[in-house]
Structure 1
Amino acid sequence: MENYLRNWRNDLLERQQYAAAIFVGDKLLALTGSDTDAIALAQTHFADGDYTRPLTLLTRTQLPQRSRAARYLAAHCHVKLGRYDAALALLGDKNPTHLATTADSARRKLQHMTAGLSSRQHAKSKASRDERADRSEERDFEEAGNIKYEAGMCYLRGLCFAQQNAFDRAKECYKDAVRIDIQCFEAMDQLMQNKLMGPAEEWDFLESLNFDSISADQTDAQEAAAFTRNLYITRLSKYARPAEFAAAMETLCTHYRLADNADMLLAQAETLFTSSRFEQALDMTSAVLDADAYNFACMPLHLALLFQLEQVNALFALAHDLADSHPQEPCTWLAVGTYYLATERIPEARTYFSKASLMNPHFGPAWIGFAHTFAAEGEGDQAIAAYSTAARLFQGTHLPQLFLGMQELALDNLAIAREYLTTAYNLCDRDPLLINEIGVCAFKEGSYEAAIRHFDLALRLSEEAGAGPHQYRATRLNLAHALRRQKRYNEALEQFNEVIRLGRNDCDTFASKALTLLELDRPLDATLALHQGLALSPQDPVAGELLTRALTQLGTEPLMSKTEEKNIDASLKEKLASSVQVRRSRRREIP
């Protein structure tokens, strides 16, 4: 009868008929009274979305005190119910670090085991090396299932600490979870998704992991370790070690045929986004959403790309669809806020960004958008406060620090701005936008040579990344201003012309070009440039003042030398004579 009920319950679970499975599981538990059947019934309640009944069942029988699986499930119920203090009380605040394994410890054990062996003994031991290497560790006395539950409980501790804003402790819990069980992807995902580590720290952590500890068939253990490592590499920062990232992507996409997998496409889109290749990145995210319209892992990047490329209609359609289908998702209101920000309806955008951050206080993109609304209205202090919150939530990414630096630059707090920008540079030294802002800071400090070096570097990085020329024309304009201030007028004029060729047609650019031409004693060309600028903005006071100066200079200097005047006079007389001769010949042809 017991086997019959278990098979019946399992069959119902396979069809997600949880109510029926609970009914059968309850009868099975009444018959057996076993811990295994009690945990299975509690897990069925959990799968059905009921987190109170499994807690009652487990605590009534005191299962969490004698079973790791029961303790993990009970703590998970507390987390789902938002009872983080109760979850920590059940889990304890100490991680079982004695169960962790690292690459260094594995190498030391291997050296210790093979020391003193003859070459024949060494060769003989090679086949079973991994099995014997683990016997010196305390974790070897634990069952594999218990180790996974211990890793899962480290992950739950991390969630609890994160909810209490203890992000450093949360980070250590997530890292210990992965060290204990390399396949604890939930913990790895929290580390990467929430940017709790900087790029260098991410790679150091990855190198410290013992992928050989993966429990797999010994015949393909090495391949499983390499495959898992490559998967984790795709989750790391796209700025550090681009060659290794490209190699991992190549292996996964070609050898394992994962080129069309959503996570691979998203990783490639993130790489393209960091390189300012927005059109190609949007193609990738659109492919992901075409296959899975509500892939919320992809949604923030997709929204950022639509905003960057000014695709307002697509933003509206996506936001409207999400509001209808997923009103409970913070990403939905991020989309609505992004649409209003793109249409410059700042109060509405702020409302919806705020709503997204209230639904999930640790949703970094919502805080970034919320801060952008204050920056758009020139509310520097409030923008700085919001960016600071994002910096606290996303400690491993340079973007909040970059935005803080930009705000301080706008307020002319140069010392504070440089401090923020330096912090961002230590996290990421290959972002062209960041290098440009450091150049702006140097420009405002009067260090024009340093500014020129930074602008040149930003342009070079953008070109190496394959970004389109229009993506970095603002940097080229900054370079032109720095060259002009350094009295390298011909080089500055070349840059101004390139900026205008790339489509930056505004009065300020033409006025700056005219100022450079005046410094080169070319008042006529300066006048022409100023007329182009004033055609765009007739009331611009700077352009008007420069035009007066150019016309005054024109009045005191001849437009042409005497030789040029004689050549033009001769050319005009020749053209006039030719015209008269043509008219006479036409008269003779009239019948």
Structure 2
Amino acid sequence: MEQHRLESSLQLLQGKIYEAMDNRTLAAECYKKALRLDVFCYEAFEALVKHQMLSREAEEELLNSLSQGSASEGQLVKVLYATKVKKYDKPEPLDVPPELHSLRENLDVATAIAERCYYNCDYKRCYEITSSVLNKDPFHTDCLPVHISCLMELGKSNALFYLAHRLVDLYPESAISWFAVGCYYFLNGKADAARRFLSKATVLDQVFGPAWLVYGHSFAVENEHDQAMAAYFKALQLMKGCHLPFLYIGLEYGLTNSTKLAERFFNQALAIAPHDPFVLHELGVVAFQSQDYAAAKNLFENALNILGVEDLTILPEKWEPLLNNLGHTCRKLRKFTEALEYHQHALVLSPQNPSTLAAIGFIYSLTCDWAKAVEYFHKALGLQRYV
């Protein structure tokens, strides 16, 4: 047993050396060997899951291959490690045996559940969990990236400013501090300033994947496709088990009219996160562009169903394109009544969108309701002269 632990420590050290040399494939192999030699080598396990080095299948295979000691030890290891993997599964109450009941209050376990909520687009619940964790431990290093990402999704710029300010004051040499600052500026539409701070975060921690993703966003919003792609590919290299780099690379290919490449990356994202509405939406866009309107409608509706909202008018504004795309697809399928409903719902989410008004006017013209068609075209032209 001692011999195995010694060999495990050596494999862990070798993995860290490979990771420092930017050879993540060999680093991952060393970390896996370290875990197989000593199931309690948590540092190796954390390196694999924190930096998302493994695919979902590889994570499950690794968990199943781990040899455990006594029954009680094995149960503890199984519960703790299982919370850290399967990030894309639906968040469920933690199933722990009575003797491990205290784990329910564990902050690491709570953070893992919050991460599942985030990847399942339940940002409100994710925010509640991460806020609770940070109230107990204000600088929980695993929780902070999830919390910061959640603040961005919910548009809470004031809370993000306050958190970033505190982090920079206390940890000026930490990548997470400058990541928070960069996210704040990006959220407020200052891409150039965001880039400066995100670049600093990537210098302080070159394997910090989230910083590379937002760094890519800062170029993407300014239509700097090549630089955005370079950042996303770097994130992909660092986060092989995460679907987000695949999604954003696909988006950039789509914007440059490389539809086939876009579809390939979206499908890879879907293989990792089969219930992500953003991925389904983008695949629907690809199907629409390929004039496969029935498939597009199916994909858009699947995305909408995953959001699980009965009243479409209470959706966040970010889903307005999904409702409009459903409207366009229904129009192509000559389902005009259904198309109008979707466009009207989209109009509630974004009332001053001239494209939506023009789309409604177009449907009325197709149904020969000329008076309403003219009314909506006038409204659209009043907001934007060239729609």
Shorter-chain TM band: over 0.9
Q: Secondary structure at the match of 2:206?
A: coil
Displacement of 1:487 in angstroms is: 2.1
- Pairing 1:434–2:279 present: yes
- State the distance in 2 between where 1:254 and 1:515 align: 64
Displacement of 1:257 in angstroms is: 2.9
Aligned length: 385
Give the match for residue 169 of structure 1. 26
Q: Secondary structure at the match of 2:85?
A: coil
Alignment of 1:132-281 (within 5 A): 144-211=1-68, 214=69, 221-240=70-89, 242=90, 246=92, 249-251=94-96, 256-281=101-126
- State the distance in 2 between where 1:413 and 1:164 align: 33
Cα offsets for 1:135-191 (capped at 9, x unmatched)? xxxxxxxxx333212111111111111121221111111111111111111001111
Alignment of 1:31-430 (within 5 A): 144-211=1-68, 214=69, 221-240=70-89, 242=90, 246=92, 249-251=94-96, 256-430=101-275
Larger Rg: 1
Q: Decide whether aligned partners of structure 1 residues 410 and 254 sit closer, same or farther in structure 2, where only a CA change above 3 A counts.
A: farther
Displacement of 1:488 in angstroms is: 1.8
Q: Secondary structure at the match of 2:39?
A: coil
Task: Answer whether contact 1:507 1:533 (CA < 8 A) is retained.
Answer: yes
- State the distance in 1 between where 2:370 and 2:310 align: 39
- State the distance in 1 between where 2:344 and 2:374 align: 15
Give the match for residue 342 of structure 2. 495
Cα offsets for 1:287-322 (capped at 9, x unmatched)? 111111111211111111111111111111111111
- State the distance in 1 between where 2:99 and 2:337 align: 50
Task: Answer whether contact 2:284 2:297 (CA < 8 A) is retained.
Answer: yes
Task: Answer whether contact 1:316 1:339 (CA < 8 A) is retained.
Answer: yes
Amino acid at match of 1:325: L
- State the distance in 2 between where 1:275 and 1:421 align: 17
Cα offsets for 1:90-116 (capped at 9, x unmatched)? xxxxxxxxxxxxxxxxxxxxxxxxxxx
Displacement of 1:252 in angstroms is: 6.6
Task: Answer whether contact 2:183 2:194 (CA < 8 A) is retained.
Answer: yes
Give the match for residue 357 of structure 2. 510
- State the distance in 1 between where 2:55 and 2:141 align: 23
- State the distance in 1 between where 2:40 and 2:100 align: 21
RMSD across aligned positions (CA)? 2.2
Task: Answer whether contact 1:507 1:540 (CA < 8 A) is retained.
Answer: no
Give the match for residue 462 of structure 1. 307
Displacement of 1:465 in angstroms is: 12
Amino acid at match of 1:469: L
Amino acid at match of 1:453: N
- State the distance in 2 between where 1:158 and 1:288 align: 30
- State the distance in 2 between where 1:278 and 1:259 align: 21
Alignment of 1:529-540 (within 5 A): 529-535=376-382, 537=383, 539-540=384-385
Q: Secondary structure at the match of 1:259?
A: helix
Displacement of 1:514 in angstroms is: 1.4
Task: Answer whether contact 2:120 2:275 (CA < 8 A) is retained.
Answer: no
Amino acid at match of 2:61: D
Cα offsets for 1:58-92 (capped at 9, x unmatched)? xxxxxxxxxxxxxxxxxxxxxxxxxxxxxxxxxxx
Task: Answer whether contact 2:88 2:120 (CA < 8 A) is retained.
Answer: no
TM-score, normalisation: structure 2? 0.94
- State the distance in 2 between where 1:531 and 1:261 align: 58
Task: Answer whether contact 1:282 1:302 (CA < 8 A) is retained.
Answer: yes
Amino acid at match of 1:159: K
- State the distance in 2 between where 1:337 and 1:253 align: 43
Give the match for residue 30 of structure 1. none
Give the match for residue 521 of structure 1. 368
- State the distance in 2 between where 1:311 and 1:253 align: 38
- State the distance in 2 between where 1:279 and 1:252 align: 28
- State the distance in 1 between where 2:369 and 2:176 align: 55
Give the match for residue 138 of structure 1. none
Amino acid at match of 2:342: Q
Displacement of 1:323 in angstroms is: 1.1
- State the distance in 2 between where 1:530 and 1:226 align: 65
- State the distance in 2 between where 1:253 and 1:159 align: 37
- State the distance in 1 between where 2:36 and 2:150 align: 35
Higher relative contact order (CA 8 A, sep 6+): 2
Displacement of 1:444 in angstroms is: 1.6
Task: Answer whether contact 2:34 2:41 (CA < 8 A) is retained.
Answer: yes
Amino acid at match of 1:499: A
Q: Decide whether aligned partners of structure 1 residues 280 and 465 sit closer, same or farther in structure 2, where only a CA change above 3 A counts.
A: farther
Q: Secondary structure at the match of 1:263?
A: helix
Q: Decide whether aligned partners of structure 1 residues 504 and 235 sit closer, same or farther in structure 2, where only a CA change above 3 A counts.
A: farther
- State the distance in 1 between where 2:139 and 2:45 align: 22
Cα offsets for 1:463-484 (capped at 9, x unmatched)? 1899973364432221111111
Q: Decide whether aligned partners of structure 1 residues 451 and 176 sit closer, same or farther in structure 2, where only a CA change above 3 A counts.
A: same
- State the distance in 2 between where 1:379 and 1:269 align: 33
Farther-moved stretch of structure 1 (449-458 vs 420-429): 420-429
Task: Answer whether contact 2:76 2:100 (CA < 8 A) is retained.
Answer: no
Displacement of 1:504 in angstroms is: 5.1
Identity over aligned pairs, percent: 30
- State the distance in 2 between where 1:378 and 1:389 align: 18
- State the distance in 2 between where 1:519 and 1:433 align: 30
- State the distance in 2 between where 1:194 and 1:494 align: 43
Alignment of 1:6-45 (within 5 A): none
Runs of at least 5 residues in structure 2 that lack an aligned partner in the other structure: none
Task: Answer whether contact 1:151 1:177 (CA < 8 A) is retained.
Answer: yes
- State the distance in 1 between where 2:88 and 2:97 align: 19
- State the distance in 2 between where 1:335 and 1:363 align: 13
- State the distance in 2 between where 1:517 and 1:389 align: 47
Amino acid at match of 1:235: K
TM-score, normalisation: structure 1? 0.62
- State the distance in 1 between where 2:326 and 2:133 align: 38
Cα offsets for 1:503-548 (capped at 9, x unmatched)? 454111111111112111122222333344445x1x3322xxxxxx
Displacement of 1:415 in angstroms is: 1.4
Task: Answer whether contact 1:337 1:352 (CA < 8 A) is retained.
Answer: yes
Displacement of 1:232 in angstroms is: 0.4
Give the match for residue 327 of structure 2. 480
